[in-house]
Structure 1
Amino acid sequence: MNKVLNPWYREEWKNVGFGMSMFVPKSPLPAIFGTTTSSFGQEAMGNATNIIMTKPITGGSR
């Protein structure tokens, strides 16, 4: 599953010198795509709610 969600991430060590090593950094692309998708969805829902709430009320009990 990790290959699908984050194909650039590899669980291997990167030598940073002086006998120290660290994991290869994760790709920021999943977070960027998630944030972008969420913002578009939020804007669409906000616009739909605004359209529904500003419709004139018709009919009534009279």
Structure 2
Amino acid sequence: MSARQKLNNAHVHGALIVAALIGAVTGSWAVFLLSALVGLAMAIHSGGIRLRSRRNRDR
């Protein structure tokens, strides 16, 4: 497993843990799903989760 994959996994797990805490506090699966989607979207947008390698970005 490459370093990029390990970092992506760490960001995904972090987003899911935070979403699970928020969902548990509110007691709602819908809030969990919404906060998980928002957290993952924010991580992708900020560059924390890299979907493509840097050498493929120019394409």
Tell me the TM-score normalized by structure 1: 0.41
Q: Which structure has the higher relative contact order (CA within 8 Å, separation 6+)?
A: 2
Greater share of helix = 2
Greater share of strand = 1
